[in-house]
């Protein structure tokens, strides 16, 4: 497997060199060949380069025939800036697998809508995920590998991790064991959801929702959303954006990921509480605390797949992706 990696927003390969080296070492131990994007190790203030430079970096990887998978190094804030400059026509003729999470959602959904021959996975980012320490890094890799190697007509079932954490620390160097929590998924109204699963990071979707890069949701779709390190006011605003756009009303159900390091702003409200208030539709099925999100370990979710999500069994089965 040859993974090409890029930095469409935060210059993490320059900011976190030890975590970057640890990620490369882990992936090479798995037999992965790595191809670095041209902005690797570079920084231009809050980003890795200009809009055009970041688009050029990605297009070079898109045009490299030896690369099978294109993976983000981390998220950030500004991946949506490069969307008009990506060579979607070439991608449709020479499809690749794209993987990432958080701010990479902008690119993932753009590929989903503009180059539908590609496979799009909401999953690990090179530095953020594979620079993590054991045992979480191996668990995240295992989920990714199961989905990545699935054949076109093969169903893949993933079982949620036994434990999870969102604790800070251990970014560049190991400091201490992170506190972990026994895992559980929860639901409102219906414990099993079936349909096309589509979405990603909510705060990133906010930046493309009115554009051609945002999918058109239908009544067969399950909206998948997750976020991290946001306060209650921001979460309400972003949920309301989906309501105002008509997306919450049309989808058959919602899967809400765990919200890492959520700030309730002294309200004691949880993201699910805010979602239900904004939704104002008591019977809409919701499964929440799903593990394809900023917590670790991370499950990989193929966007656009037909999915069966069981909150009681804590399993998800993906087909047709």
Please give the Cα distance from 203 to 37 (Å, whole number): 26
CA–CA dist 184, 194 (Å, integer): 19
289-290-294-298 Cα dihedral, nearest 10 degrees: 140
Identify the three-state secondary structure at position 34.
Answer: strand
The catalytic position among 81, 102, 129, 292 is 102
Strands, DSSP E only, in 97-210?
A: 97-100, 119-122, 156-159, 163-164, 181-182, 186-188, 192-201
- The partner residues of 307 in beta bridges, in order of sequence, read 195, 318
Name the nearest CA neighbour of 103 among 214, 207, 176.
207
How does strand 156-159 pair with strand 119-122? unpaired
Q: Known catalytic residue: 226?
A: yes
The H or E element spanning position 315 is strand 315-319
Q: State yes or no: is 176 an active-site residue.
A: no
- Of 80, 89, 129, which Cα lies nearest the Cα of 109? 80
Catalytic residue among 72, 226, 259, 292: 226
* Residue 186 annotated among the catalytic residues of the structure: no
The one catalytic residue in 16, 48, 132, 294 is 294
Catalytic residues: 102, 226, 294
């Amino acid at each position: 497997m040859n993974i090409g990696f890029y930095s469409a927003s935060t210059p993490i390969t320059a900011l976190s060199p030890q975590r970057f080296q640890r990620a490369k070492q882990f992936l090479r131990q798995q037999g992965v060949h790595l191809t670095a994007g041209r902005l690797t190790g570079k920084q231009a203030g809050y980003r890795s380069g200009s809009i055009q430079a970041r688009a050029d970096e990605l297009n070079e990887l898109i045009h490299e025939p030896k690369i099978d998978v294109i993976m983000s190094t981390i998220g950030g804030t500004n991946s949506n800036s490069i969307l008009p400059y990506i060579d979607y026509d070439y991608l449709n003729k020479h499809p690749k697998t794209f993987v990432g999470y958080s701010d990479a959602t902008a690119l993932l959904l753009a590929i989903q809508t503009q180059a539908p021959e590609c496979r799009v996975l909401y999953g690990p980012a090179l530095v953020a995920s594979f620079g993590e320490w054991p045992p979480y890094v191996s668990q995240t890799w295992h989920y990714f590998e199961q989905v990545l190697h699935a054949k076109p007509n093969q169903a893949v079932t993933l079982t949620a991790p036994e434990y999870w954490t969102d604790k800070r620390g251990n970014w560049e160097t190991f400091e201490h064991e992170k506190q972990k929590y026994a895992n559980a998924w929860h639901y409102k109204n219906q414990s099993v959801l079936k349909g096309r699963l589509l979405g990603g990071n909510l705060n990133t979707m906010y930046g493309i929702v009115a554009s051609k890069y945002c999918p058109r949701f239908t009544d067969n779709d399950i909206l998948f959303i997750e976020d991290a390190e946001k306060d209650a006011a921001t979460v309400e605003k972003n949920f309301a954006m989906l309501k105002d756009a008509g997306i919450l009303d049309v989808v058959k159900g919602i899967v809400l990921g765990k919200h890492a390091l959520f700030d309730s702003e002294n309200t004691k409200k949880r993201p699910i509480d805010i979602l239900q208030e904004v939704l104002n539709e008591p019977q809409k099925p919701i499964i929440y605390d799903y593990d394809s999100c900023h917590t670790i370990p991370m499950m990989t979710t193929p966007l656009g797949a037909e999915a069966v999500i069981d909150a009681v069994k804590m399993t998800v089965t993906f087909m047709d992706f």
